[in-house]
Structure 1
Amino acid sequence: MRRERITDLALWALICAPVVLRAVADGGGEWWRPVAGSMVLGAAVGLSRGRPLTALLLALALGLSVTPRLWSPEYATALAVFGCLAGRRTALARPALHAFAGTAAVGLLITLAARLDLRTWLVQLSTLAFAVMVPWLLGRYVRQYAQLVDTGWLLAGRLEREQGVAADRARLLERARIAGDMHDSLGHDLSLIAVRAAALEVDPSLSGQQQGAAGELRAAAGEATARLRDIIGVLRESDVAAPASPPGETVAEQVDRARRSGMDVALSGDGTAGGLAPMTVRAVHRTVQESLTNAARHAPGAPVEVRLVQSDSALTVTVTSAAGPAGLPPGPPAESGRAGAVELPGGTGGGTGLVGLDERIRLAGGVLRHGPLPGGGFDVCATLPRAPGAAPLAIPGASPSSAQELARARQQVRRRLKQAIWVPLAATAALGVLIGAVGLAARYGTVLDRARYDLVRVGDPAGPVGARLPGHAMGGAPGGAPPAPAGQNCRYYRTGPFTELPAYRVCFRGGTVASKAVVR
């Protein structure tokens, strides 16, 4: 915050310096004007961080208050600075474009209300384009470059985290392998100890006390072997390799077991599902088990239907559960763990059952679809190939790689950099066309034909004569014209759109036409 305050004070001093210097050059003049301008600039600096477009509009209002042309030496620096800050600190470009269009419209209204020449508005547009929009585009480019750098650092951090996760997973897998090796080696040694203890237990040369100690040693070795098998079995359960041998339970037997547990389950189709690949049989068993477990947990008492539809190439397993009696539809369930770990009804799950089920079906070459039903309930549908050796499907919804995201960010920055180059060029071309069109219209608007000039008589009232003359006159006497008569207000009109001389001169004094002449 302290650094921001110092930066804002330095910025305020920078943009107020031209205002003070201009006031000193003018000999003081109306001192309240530079004081009020400095105060408004200070408010704009205070708003430039939270509301940069508001700060820019304040600077534009100060410029228009000095001159309708918008260009003034004392506020030119402020326009450029606040334009750049608006591009740097504004996320969207559309509000700034609306502000520029509104400023141009207000400037046109001021020009028309003050009955000024349209060239004043053209100067205002030129100032808006080059003193405000070009710095704004520069600020936009700086913002996009900073976003690209931030994106690069974020992707680098993400890669580091992903590498850390991969390293942790590799370490865990290695520990699981070490545990498996330990199980194999220690299990073998403990089995040998149990065998030798059993031999000592029946050795007739030992006393009864020694044989009892050998029996205790044999029992302890057996218990240690069983505990080691249980612990290492849990560790091996988390490995990615699934057992390829199918379970001995068919779908019909699963449904019967669930029905004996108290569930309202109906089976349609052939519950044997024979002639399938071992991996497919395992996936079918896991699908039915996971779905029945979730239905028993999240919709107890609700009817469940298991459907098996077989064709020559695929097998479809669909498990549909209705809403529970309490009226609570089963949402995405906190599913059970791996196959064989749940006994219906009930069970405990870790909330990743459907994720693991989807992975198992994908590895078997199938597709899993699941979701809530419109009328309440939940539906799980797995389609599996019948042919053995089906290739695993690609992982759906894989997020783009970091390299792709970085390439997309670079492409976006390059596109906006092109905008920062082409937009000023297009604006300059459009402004040139507009200036040419307005200039051409101004030339045609100051042409006075000979017949109307002849109708003007010296001594005629100025009102009727002014109505017959063109609405606009030349900005002043054309170059090389003789001086106007003293004490007369003279207007000059072209004889052709692209000629300066000869020109018609009509002079007024006291509300009447004082003189007229063809200036050569």
Structure 2
Amino acid sequence: MRRENARERLTDLALWVVLAGCVLLRSDPNDGGSWWWVGTGVPLLGLAVLLCRSWPLLSLVVAVSLSAWQTPELFTASYAPAMAAFGYLSGRRTATARPALLTFAGIASAGLALGLALEDLWTWFALLITLLFTIVVPWLVGRYVRQYAQLVSAGWQLADRMEREQQAVADRERLRERSRIAGDMHDSLGHDLSLIGVRAAALEVDAGLGPRQQQAARELREAAAEATARLRDIVGVLRADGEPAPTAPSGETVGALVERARDSGLDVHLHEDGPRAGLPPMTARAVHRVVQESLTNAAKHAPGAAVRVGLSCGDADVTVRVTNPLPPSAASPSAGGTGLVGLDERVRLAGGTLTHGPSADGFTVTARLPLSSGAAPTPPTAPTAARELDDARRRVRRGLLQALTVPVAVGAVLALLILGFRFWSDSRTVMERAQYDRIRVGDTRADVLTRLPRLSLDGPPSGVQREPADAGRCEYYRAKKYETTPAYRLCFKDDRLTSKTIVTDVDNEEDRPR
């Protein structure tokens, strides 16, 4: 029963004050017994509030017992708010539904036993209605609020984990692409360093140079060889485990790449538009990688389909577009793959933009790269799971709506049962005039009951004067179906019929007592 912090203590105190206030407002200062109810109910409600965090169903049973103590129909203005509050808290704080369902079944069973003992099923029907709308409905609301909170929490955790995993995959692909870029640098710089070493070796053996110049040339050649070896070692470390050296020739053009793909059996067509000035090295390699990765994806995901490669050079940028028809049954090239992530990193580092996705012609990869070197744009923001979280919230709202409609449906069924029982009981409370005439004052109760209908009315019909105080126990029966008046009144005292009367309304009676 300990509270974790001051907020919980203040919340429970406020709950007890509100529930106790409902009891105090319904008490009658002029009724001495009312204060006895207050003196008992308010402390017990305080005990229920203390128990509601650890044993919410026990708190609910305390509130139900207090309400049933006042009326077997269970609904009282003093304790109905307490039953609704503890019903909600039971759903909010109980992990499983079985204990609550067993508690509700126990309350309904106890009400049925009480109704049978009192020979009054209407009391049980009233108890079921109170149980449904005062306890079960708040319990359902609390239960789905709990499920909603759990689903939102689990959704955020799942979204955070997925984002971290996606970010890790993207980072890995970016690092891999950067290692490929380093390999490209090795291919180009190694070639240049080798040329420097060859020229230095030629100067080293040139007879026209003096010893000092030849020594400088030899040192230059050795430095170029050492730089080439060091570059090879560094790039070898950056290369992924088991990744072979690049097979494409250094400085291969897009046309040579397309020709090589066509020779391997791929149906590919190249269309070039615009002047072909010398591209910056990073842009040229990015264009080559876009075409290479797109052709690889086309061969993998759309084998046998014709691939169109478009290369358009403008004044400020170059655009490469690769399109292949995508069969309806084929998967998207980006689905489940990470090649496009690395490709996007390559294009971004070159200062360009990359788009890919289905189009009217199939699946299209488009890259736009600048013809002049520039700073790489800001990397895209990490993906979020807001859309997935909104979908989860909508599902929970639909579940909550269904949970609220279930009590309405149950209430409608219960109303039909009550209405049917009402018609059935009305038909069993009708006494024929011939039966009434055969009954004589002075007959024993046992003899009279054999000639009476199975059921009697719950009390005097509306508007009928009550029987005298010394009349004994009186019972009423209908004279006509579905009409309360006229009615037959039979009064018994000492197990004998003392009077029989036909009553209609106030001060209007036939057949004086006989």
The two structures have a TM-score, normalised by structure 2, of 0.61
Residue identity opposite 2:440 in structure 1: R
Residue 470 of structure 2 is aligned with which of 473, 484, 487?
487
Residue identity opposite 2:84 in structure 1: A
Is 1:512 matched with 2:496?
Answer: yes
Q: Which residue of 2 aligns with 1:465?
A: 448
Residue 139 of structure 2 is aligned with which of 136, 139, 142?
136
Residue 440 of structure 1 is aligned with which of 423, 443, 447?
423
**Cα distance, 1:515 vs structure 2:** 1.9
Q: Which residue of 1 aligns with 2:122?
A: 119
Residue identity opposite 2:402 in structure 1: Q
Task: Verify the 8 A CA contact 2:49 2:59 in the aligned structure 1.
Answer: yes
Is 1:2 matched with 2:29?
Answer: no
Residue identity opposite 2:72 in structure 1: P
| Structure 2 Cα separation of the partners of residues 439 and 150 of structure 1 | 49
Q: Relative to 1, partners in 2 of residues 1:38 and 1:241: Cα closer, same or farther, differing over 3 Å?
A: farther
* 1:62-104: CA deviation from partner (whole Å, max 9, x where unpaired): 3223321001122111012122333444566565455434422
Q: Relative to 1, partners in 2 of residues 1:60 and 1:175: Cα closer, same or farther, differing over 3 Å?
A: same
Q: Relative to 1, partners in 2 of residues 1:62 and 1:397: Cα closer, same or farther, differing over 3 Å?
A: farther
Is 1:477 matched with 2:460?
Answer: yes
| Structure 2 Cα separation of the partners of residues 185 and 242 of structure 1 | 14
| Structure 1 Cα separation of the partners of residues 469 and 167 of structure 2 | 92
**Cα distance, 1:11 vs structure 2:** 0.9
**Cα distance, 1:487 vs structure 2:** 0.7
| Structure 1 Cα separation of the partners of residues 119 and 95 of structure 2 | 37
Is 1:226 matched with 2:229?
Answer: yes
Task: Verify the 8 A CA contact 1:151 1:409 in the aligned structure 2.
Answer: no
Identical aligned residues as a percent = 51
**Cα distance, 1:477 vs structure 2:** 2.3
Is 1:67 matched with 2:71?
Answer: yes
Residue 422 of structure 1 is aligned with which of 398, 405, 429?
405
Partner of 2:441, secondary structure, is: coil
Q: Relative to 1, partners in 2 of residues 1:396 and 1:56: Cα closer, same or farther, differing over 3 Å?
A: farther
Task: Verify the 8 A CA contact 2:91 2:141 in the aligned structure 1.
Answer: yes
Aligned Cα RMSD in Å? 4.6
Q: Which residue of 2 aligns with 1:327?
A: none
Aligned pair count reads 391
Once the two structures are superposed, the pairs formed by residues 279-290 of structure 1 within 5 Å of their partners are: none
| Structure 2 Cα separation of the partners of residues 125 and 197 of structure 1 | 103
Task: Verify the 8 A CA contact 1:473 1:493 in the aligned structure 2.
Answer: yes
Task: Verify the 8 A CA contact 2:179 2:238 in the aligned structure 1.
Answer: yes
Residue identity opposite 2:113 in structure 1: L
The two structures have a TM-score, normalised by structure 1, of 0.60
Residue identity opposite 2:235 in structure 1: I
| Structure 2 Cα separation of the partners of residues 242 and 431 of structure 1 | 79
Q: Which residue of 1 aligns with 2:269?
A: none
Residue identity opposite 1:513 in structure 2: L
Residue 198 of structure 1 is aligned with which of 197, 201, 216?
201
Q: Relative to 1, partners in 2 of residues 1:394 and 1:58: Cα closer, same or farther, differing over 3 Å?
A: farther
Once the two structures are superposed, the pairs formed by residues 445-456 of structure 1 within 5 Å of their partners are: 445-456=428-439
Task: Verify the 8 A CA contact 1:363 1:393 in the aligned structure 2.
Answer: no
**Cα distance, 1:458 vs structure 2:** 2.4
Residue 79 of structure 1 is aligned with which of 77, 83, 98?
83
Once the two structures are superposed, the pairs formed by residues 342-353 of structure 1 within 5 Å of their partners are: none
Q: Relative to 1, partners in 2 of residues 1:190 and 1:88: Cα closer, same or farther, differing over 3 Å?
A: same
Q: Which residue of 1 aligns with 2:46?
A: 42
Residue 414 of structure 2 is aligned with which of 431, 435, 439?
431
Task: Verify the 8 A CA contact 1:365 1:393 in the aligned structure 2.
Answer: no
| Structure 2 Cα separation of the partners of residues 482 and 44 of structure 1 | 45
| Structure 2 Cα separation of the partners of residues 132 and 240 of structure 1 | 67
**Cα distance, 1:504 vs structure 2:** 1.9
Task: Verify the 8 A CA contact 1:119 1:438 in the aligned structure 2.
Answer: no
Task: Verify the 8 A CA contact 1:23 1:29 in the aligned structure 2.
Answer: no
Q: Relative to 1, partners in 2 of residues 1:69 and 1:25: Cα closer, same or farther, differing over 3 Å?
A: farther
Residue identity opposite 1:118 in structure 2: L
**Cα distance, 1:203 vs structure 2:** 4.5
Partner of 1:459, secondary structure, is: coil
| Structure 2 Cα separation of the partners of residues 430 and 26 of structure 1 | 42
Residue identity opposite 1:4 in structure 2: E
Q: Which residue of 2 aligns with 1:373?
A: none
| Structure 2 Cα separation of the partners of residues 20 and 483 of structure 1 | 34
Residue identity opposite 2:11 in structure 1: T
Partner of 1:78, secondary structure, is: helix
* 1:362-395: CA deviation from partner (whole Å, max 9, x where unpaired): 99759xxxxxxxxxxxxxxxxxx99999999669
**Cα distance, 1:126 vs structure 2:** 2.0
| Structure 1 Cα separation of the partners of residues 437 and 243 of structure 2 | 104
| Structure 1 Cα separation of the partners of residues 30 and 136 of structure 2 | 30
Unmatched 5+ residue regions in structure 2? 249-263, 267-295, 308-323, 338-383, 505-514
Task: Verify the 8 A CA contact 2:28 2:34 in the aligned structure 1.
Answer: no
Partner of 2:107, secondary structure, is: helix
| Structure 2 Cα separation of the partners of residues 20 and 398 of structure 1 | 67
Residue 388 of structure 2 is aligned with which of 405, 410, 413?
405
